[in-house]
Amino acid sequence: MMCFKVALLFFACVSIGSAVKLEEKFRWKEVSYAWPSDAAKEEAITGKRYVPENNLLLGLDVHKDRLFITVPRWKSGVASSLNYVKVSSVEASPVLVPYPSWEANTIEADVSQGQDRLGGRADAPEAKVVDGQLRDNSSIISTFRIQVDECDRLWVMDTGLADILGSPKQIAPPALVIFDLNTDTLIRRYTFTSSDLGHNSFLANVIVDVPKHECGNAYAYVPDLGGYGVVVYSFKDNKSWRVKHNFFHFDPLNGDFNVGGVNFQWTDGVFGMALGKPSSEGSRTVYFHALASTKEFSVPNFVLQNETRATSSDAYYDYSLVGDRGSNGQATAEALHEKTNVLFYTQVNKDGVGCWKADKPFNPDTQGLVDSDSAALVFPNDLKIDGDDNLWILSDRLPVFMYKKLNPDEFNYRILKGKVNDLILGTPCE
């Protein structure tokens, strides 16, 4: 009888644990900002520098009490591309504060009309670009993904491209912009070279690999979803190189998506990337996948970090197929929680978030769905894991934004969070 009661208690605990869901932290119908004044807001609306429905949340990361959020310039009228809100905010829909400043995020010209400069005239005091050069290296034109590293630095992948879905304008070259979060000052802006870019290149994500206690020896891996490559950047040498491989391409059998009532086809290549646990020698596995694919691949980080080897055909067999997420398993972002060795990834066709324990085979039987919600998780776009073992998710209904129109009376953008150990309880990742 006692064993029967213990068994009941065990199954009850598993049932409760597996029912744990992500909790909603913030939500927005439309994006609003912490304007310097009401007059500044009205002036921006009048000048169409702020068109509320064109501002879509996309990427996130956390540092102490600041939750950084990106708003790419998909369309004209995006007020600020890099922003933050306070994690401790009790407001359900807090206003976004531009980072590092309003000035760094302000594009005065209407780029949809094809003007070459920011701020109208090239000699205007507020102009950010003159003769193709940024006047202020801390300027952020348009960013999709960001990452906070263990050295209190914010790495921003600035595409430099505005009005992407309208009349695209390359206002500045793609660049990595790195900030010191303890002082909120610019550390460096690194502009990618022409040899880093391929045909149809689109650099939108960044993964930062920092050896323990070696902040000066960091590497950044920047997937090129449109050009099917990866650009590696060495912080120490302030140098970058482009890496090619067949595994960076999309899967032609898995480019069909159905999200939020929208059917569409994408050909996006390598996009999601995550770092595995450090080995005893200090090396790490770099996991990666194409967005239009259900397969996961990997390569040792020391391969990418060695320019000679990484760019040689001899490196072809250094790459491995990890496994397949199964039908409708396409994913955008991914991140690995080192303490549990669990890889989390979005499941855009399933309105959910999946997981896999990295010491198991990678197949549908060994993967779990930690949460799925047809309202709160319509197109989970980005995810991060903070130092307190919280998983953060941003969902934004991107396909509806791109191909139809978002309803301003509904909550379109959400940020959710949950404790890693609670979320994996009762799943194959436990």
DSSP result, 233-270: EETTTTEEEEEE-GGGS--TTS-EEEETTEEEE----E
Pair type for strands 185-191 and 23-28 = unpaired
pLDDT per residue as tens digits for the range 216-275: 999 999 999 999 999 999 999 999 999 999 999 999 999 999 999 999 999 999 999 999
Give the max Cα distance, the chain. 85
Q: What is the distance between the alpha carbons of residues 47 and 223, in angstroms, rounded to a whole number? A: 35
Among 139, 138, 122, 120, which residue's Cα sits nearest to residue 130?
122
**Which pTM does this prediction carry?**
0.92
pLDDT averages per 10-residue partition of the chain, 430 residues: 43 43 97 97 96 98 98 98 98 98 81 37 41 77 98 98 96 97 98 96 98 96 98 98 98 98 98 96 96 98 98 97 97 98 98 98 96 97 98 98 98 98 96
- 3-state helix, strand, coil split of the chain in percent (to 5) is 20, 35, 45
Pair type for strands 229-234 and 239-244 = antiparallel
Domains in the chain, CATH or no CATH each: 1-23+248-430 (2.120.10.30), 31-191 (2.120.10.30)
Whole-number pLDDT of residue 128: 56
